[in-house]
Amino acid sequence: MQSNGNVVYGITQNTETNQYIIVIPDEFSSRRNDSNGKCIYCEHYNTSPAWCQSCDPWKATQEWTSGNDEVDNFIKEFQFKTTEYEKVIEWIPFNKLIDLQEINEESDLVFTATWVKGVRIIKGDSGKYMQSRSISSVDLMKLNCSQTDTLELFENVS
């Protein structure tokens, strides 16, 4: 029996909801490796250091909004395609940027700032990698377009 190119191992039923569920192979099993550490959500080996392709893209899309559905959907599209923790693109609330200092107005770079939450980094040794953050100095680049043109500009930047 096959479904969407995957082998189907069988069928089960959730005893709490009575919903039937198809059991298929883990689509990321060939990329899982003990040297990448274990996922804190599903406890399988990660698919890259400190990153579980089954759990982390979904987790990255939760609990935030830019206030603009188009911008949210654009960022979430990239988050679902991300395969490494350090490469996740995210919404950064402006109030998480401190110590703003204006740069030359003639440039597209308009401010330097400190990002309180900080960039994503991976800590630890092989097999014990952990997701972490580090407070970071960042530059803020002005987008010279209307809100309707913003998504088109994002596509050119990414």
What are the strands, taking DSSP E only, across 27-108? 97-102
Which pLDDT score is estimated for 6? 60
Cβ pair 12, 20 in contact under 8 A: yes
Helix 69-81 and helix 147-157: axis angle, to 10°?
A: 10
What is the per-residue pLDDT across 18-51, written as a single tens digit (0 to 9) for each? 898 888 877 677 677 788 888 989 988 988 998 9
Count of beta carbons in the 10 Å neighbourhood of residue 30: 9
End-to-end alpha-carbon separation of the chain, Å?
40
What is the per-residue pLDDT across 51-110, written as a single tens digit (0 to 9) for each? 999 999 999 999 999 999 988 999 999 999 999 999 999 999 999 999 999 887 677 778
CA 137 to chain centre: 20
Q: Is 39 left (phi over 0), alpha (psi -120 to 50) or beta?
A: beta
Q: Is the pLDDT of residue 158 over 70?
A: no
pTM tops 0.85, yes or no:
no
- Per-residue pLDDT, averaged over 124-136, amounts to 85
Q: Predicted confidence band at 141 (pLDDT cuts at 50, 70, 90)?
A: confident
Q: Is 16 left (phi over 0), alpha (psi -120 to 50) or beta?
A: alpha
Q: Which residues contact 97 (CB under 8 A, 6 or more apart)?
A: 113, 114, 115, 116, 138, 140
Which sequence spans correspond to the domains of the chain? Answer: 1-28, 32-157
Which pLDDT score is estimated for 69? 92
3-state secondary structure of 139: strand
Count of beta carbons in the 10 Å neighbourhood of residue 100: 12
